[in-house]
Amino acid sequence: MDAIQKPVTVARTDELPPGQRKLVFIDGRSIVLLNIDGTFHAIDNSCPHNGASLAGGKLEGSVLQCPAHGLRFDLSRPCEPGSASLCLRKFAVEATGDSVTLLVDAAGTP
């Protein structure tokens, strides 16, 4: 059975201009919210390689580089090219009006 989804507002659209990011916390989980050319993305703040924080990684276009080991993740794709085991955990994100929301399940886990 699919989890029931509920929206959780995490930012205002005007506080996150293109090229910027924000670290948000939902029920103890750390999530990086990014605005890439006007499109919002939300990922788990944990590199799938070794758990390093991705919040401070270098962002070039849609590619985020892990600051710990230099792995590069294209946020427009689900996994590191050539390695299905290095997939970022992404979350559904919507920008409507002046609010940015993430969808989380009813138990509070994104």
The CATH number of the domain holding residue 25 is 2.102.10.10
Residue 96 lies in a domain: yes
Q: Do the domain assignments include residue 12?
A: yes
Which pTM value belongs to this model? Answer: 0.84
Residues 6+ apart with CB under 8 A from 39: none
Domain count, the chain: 1
Range of the domain at 40: 5-104
Task: Determine, yes or no, domain membership for 21.
Answer: yes
Q: Residue 20: pLDDT band by 50, 70, 90 thresholds?
A: very high
- Give the model's pLDDT for residue 101: 94
60 by Cβ neighbours in 10 Å (0-12 / 13-18 / 19+) ranks as exposed
Specify the higher pLDDT residue, 28 or 47. 47
Asked if residue 110 is part of any domain, the answer here is: no
pLDDT of residue 110: 47
Residue 83 lies in a domain: yes
At residue 108 the predicted structure's pLDDT band, cuts being 50, 70 and 90, is: very low
pLDDT digits (tens, 9 = 90+) for 47-105: 988 899 999 999 999 999 999 989 989 998 767 666 667 788 888 999 999 999 998 76
Average pLDDT of span 19-47: 93
Distance, in Å, from the CA atom of 44 to the CA atom of 101, rounded to the nearest integer, reads 15
Cα–Cα distance measured from residue 12 to residue 60, given in angstroms and rounded to the nearest whole number: 23
